[in-house]
Structure 1
Amino acid sequence: MRALFLNSLYDPHIGGGAEIILQQTVEGLQKRGMDVMVLATGPEKGLRLDRVNGVPVYRAGLSNLYWHHTQERPGRFTRLAWHIVDRYNARMRRYVREVIARECPDIVICHNLSGWSVSAWDEVKAADLPIVQVLHDMYLLCPRSTMFNQGKTCPQRCGQCQTLRQPHPQASQQVDAVIGVSRFLLDKLTANGYFGLATSHVIYNCSVVPKPTFRCERLPNAPLRFGYMGTLSDNKGVAWLIEEFQAQKGMHAMLYIAGRGQLDYVAHLKRLADPSRVRFIGYQSPQTFYSAIDVAVVPSRWAEPFGMVAVEACAHGVPVIATRMGGLSEIIQDRFNGLLCSPAQPESLGVALRTLHDDKPLRERLAYQARSSVSALLGQDRMLDEYETIIRQTVAKRKARA
């Protein structure tokens, strides 16, 4: 079995959780004996081959106005022009064609298509190969991948999104199998006319988190430690979190914010924050971060496709305050491993913060139940078993039809 994995980015270029899960999957399947290779975009022209932990990784120079993995935010019209090109970027097909010719895979597993566009599907089908599409976000519905605009989740697609995604549902009928990282995400795409001829599956992402052996215990009379880890962006609700946290007067607590984001937005967040109560600590490993906080907060204002940070927090025995958005409610159960709130009721986040600050028995009960609540998501073998089964079944079906 030879499998080609196609994604927007690959290590060391990490845009988010999709790249981490992809790398775990690729390296895990390779250890099981599958011949794997990766094709991703890169900042340099042409097609280059290197190896990451023994995996062949092709990097194709992106044929668009700029490479999208950058902290510098281009202007509005430049971004729009980029998305117009990305509606169907025929120039990227040549890289798919060349790698297929070199590697002769039996199947292509597509992950994030940003940069490649759905033209990649056409090139794979031109080679008469089966396609598995893994959904990590809402790129196929919205060029920004979020369906989030002007500070709120879009109830339906705007005219611009519909125009830039008009041919995509029909193109998706070429896909043989589709995998959503949450039931929410899979249902969202299929309800919009995608993947009508594909077999449908949900595979929850896994996180390999050993049972914590060390914890920085809070000293007596020390502030309660709330923490946010993730991308610093508007749709992630970081500004909302800062405002609601600072609105809780008399609360003996600190808020620690770990992560990176666009430079101008991070500067905006720092202007909002009271440095005596809110600290920005940059990139942190999950082990370091979750061992040093008491409550994790995932205040997403958009429909989060899954929410691996919520899984990792629970795996470290940390209760989670999360929003009822997207796949998060498939992880966090209200008053079992955390509390749920809603961006539609902004004060609900402040209520949740205050509740876990004031109610120590509740906080301790949620922490005690947190790890067991996500135990099914902590085993990499489960995730690899499911991916391997779908890949092999899809290839077998294609061969049977041939």
Structure 2
Amino acid sequence: MKVLLLHSLYAPHIGGGAEIVVRQLAEGLQARGCEVVVLATGPRAGLNPEHLDGLLVYRAGLSNFYWHFTQAKPNRLLRLGWHLRDRYNRSMRQHVRDVIAHEEPHIVLCNNLTGWSISAWDEISAAGLPIVQVLHDLYLLCPKDTMFNNGRSCERQCGMCAAFRRPHAAASAQVAAVIGVSRFVLERITAEGYFAQASQHVVHNCIDPRASISALPRPHHSGLLRFGYIGTLSENKGLSWLIEQFQALSINATLEIAGRGKLDYEAEIKGRADPSKVRFVGYQPSERFMQGIDVLVIPSIWAEPFGLVAVEGCAQHLPIIATNMGGLPEIIQDNLNGLLCTPADPDSLGRAMLKLYLDSDLRQRLSEQARSSVAAFLNTERMLDQYQTILSSTLNGRSANDEPDFTDHFPPQVEPARD
């Protein structure tokens, strides 16, 4: 089976967890005997092939006002123009056409469509190839892919998003199979009429357990407690909320924030932080960063489609504080491997941090249970099994009713000890 894997970005251009998982898929399927070709957007004009770790990667120059993988935030008018063109970017179809003609894949595994637009579906269908679409975000409902506006997560599509996405649900009828990286993201998008003709599956993202094989349960200790955040620095990630709640606590603790974001937003949140309590450490490898903290905080105020960082933290035996939104509750269970809070009750984040600061026994128990609680998410071979079987059955033309159940299930529930 020859697979064309289409995605918005590809390493070394890493925007978030989706890029990590897509690279795992590409390399993993190739190692299993599939022939994999990657097609992603890039900053240079034209179609630029290269070899990366044994894979053929095509980077297509993005035909839009700017390439979206940049730290500088364009002005509002330019962003609006970008999204207008991205509703259906006809110019990007040529790159898809050229790669399909040259490589002759059997099937196309589409991931994030930002930059490509749904025009990619039409070009793939025109070539007579089956499409498997993976849902990593909410792009099909919202041009910004987050459904987050004015400091809040949107409960429904606004008028502008609905207008930008009006033909998309009908166009999705040409997709043969759809995979959600969480039950949340699959149900959220299909509820709007998408993928009515496709077989539907949930395959949770996984990470390679070898990345954290040296991690040991956290020892008891007293004194300074180190809270940490790692990820994109952006408003929807809840960093302002985290900094405000942390600085309101009178505790012997520090907060380290790792990651990068738009330059103007970075400057804004750094201006709100007390440097004696909050330290910005820039981009850090996640394994190394997590080994230097005691509690990982994921204060997202939008509905995260999954939250791979939560899996990474649990694999490193870290207790997690996370919001009870989106796909995060499919990973973090209250009083089993972490504590859940909600932006609807702003002080719930501060209370969770204070609770873990005061109760070292609870912190230790959550740490000891963390890695086993995400065992299902540390099995990349199982994830690859599911993808490979879905690809094979789709290529063989089985109907949705003939499909075996590939739905990824929650890890076994462990009854949490009572405080």
Query: TM-score when scaled to structure 2?
Result: 0.93
Determine what percentage of the aligned residue pairs are the same residue.
59
* Number of the residue aligned with 2:254: 254
CA distances 1:241-288 after superposition (whole Å, capped 9, x unpaired): 000000112x11000111111111111111111111100111111221
* Number of the residue aligned with 1:64: 64
* Number of the residue aligned with 1:107: 107
Say if 1:40 and 1:272 are closer, same or farther in 2 by CA, change over 3 A. Answer: same
Aligned mates of 1:157, 1:377 — CA distance in 2: 31
Aligned mates of 1:208, 1:240 — CA distance in 2: 31
Aligned mates of 2:398, 2:382 — CA distance in 1: 25
Aligned mates of 1:322, 1:130 — CA distance in 2: 38
* Number of the residue aligned with 1:306: 306
Q: Which amino acid in structure 1 is aligned with residue 42 of structure 2?
A: G
Work out the number of aligned pairs and report it. Answer: 398
Residue correspondence of structure 1 range 166-245 to structure 2 within 5 A? 166-210=166-210, 211-213=212-214, 222-245=223-246
Q: Following TM superposition, by how much is the alpha carbon of 1:207 offset from its aligned partner in structure 2, in angstroms?
A: 1.0
Say if 1:215 and 1:372 are closer, same or farther in 2 by CA, change over 3 A. Answer: closer
Residue correspondence of structure 1 range 336-355 to structure 2 within 5 A? 336-355=336-355
Q: Is the 8 A contact 1:209 1:316 kept in 2?
A: no
* Number of the residue aligned with 1:55: 55
1:285 aligns with 2:261: no
* Number of the residue aligned with 1:378: 378
Q: Is the 8 A contact 1:88 1:117 kept in 2?
A: yes
Q: Following TM superposition, by how much is the alpha carbon of 1:208 offset from its aligned partner in structure 2, in angstroms?
A: 1.2
CA distances 1:226-247 after superposition (whole Å, capped 9, x unpaired): 0001000000001110000001
Structure 2, unaligned stretches of length 5 or more? 400-419
Aligned mates of 1:51, 1:230 — CA distance in 2: 28
Q: Is the 8 A contact 1:152 1:301 kept in 2?
A: yes
CA distances 1:31-80 after superposition (whole Å, capped 9, x unpaired): 11100001111111111100110100011111111111100100011101
Q: Following TM superposition, by how much is the alpha carbon of 1:184 offset from its aligned partner in structure 2, in angstroms?
A: 0.2
* Number of the residue aligned with 1:116: 116
Say if 1:81 and 1:18 are closer, same or farther in 2 by CA, change over 3 A. Answer: same
CA distances 1:382-401 after superposition (whole Å, capped 9, x unpaired): 110000000000000179xx
Q: Is the 8 A contact 1:233 1:262 kept in 2?
A: yes
Aligned mates of 2:301, 2:219 — CA distance in 1: 30
Q: Is the 8 A contact 2:324 2:341 kept in 1?
A: yes
Residue correspondence of structure 1 range 118-197 to structure 2 within 5 A? 118-197=118-197
Q: Following TM superposition, by how much is the alpha carbon of 1:292 offset from its aligned partner in structure 2, in angstroms?
A: 1.1
Query: TM-score when scaled to structure 1?
Result: 0.97
Q: Is the 8 A contact 1:295 1:318 kept in 2?
A: yes
CA distances 1:137-173 after superposition (whole Å, capped 9, x unpaired): 0000000000000100011111110010000000001
Q: Which amino acid in structure 2 is aligned with residue 332 of structure 1?
A: I
Say if 1:241 and 1:229 are closer, same or farther in 2 by CA, change over 3 A. Answer: same
Q: Is the 8 A contact 2:7 2:110 kept in 1?
A: yes
Q: Which amino acid in structure 1 is aligned with residue 295 of structure 2?
A: V
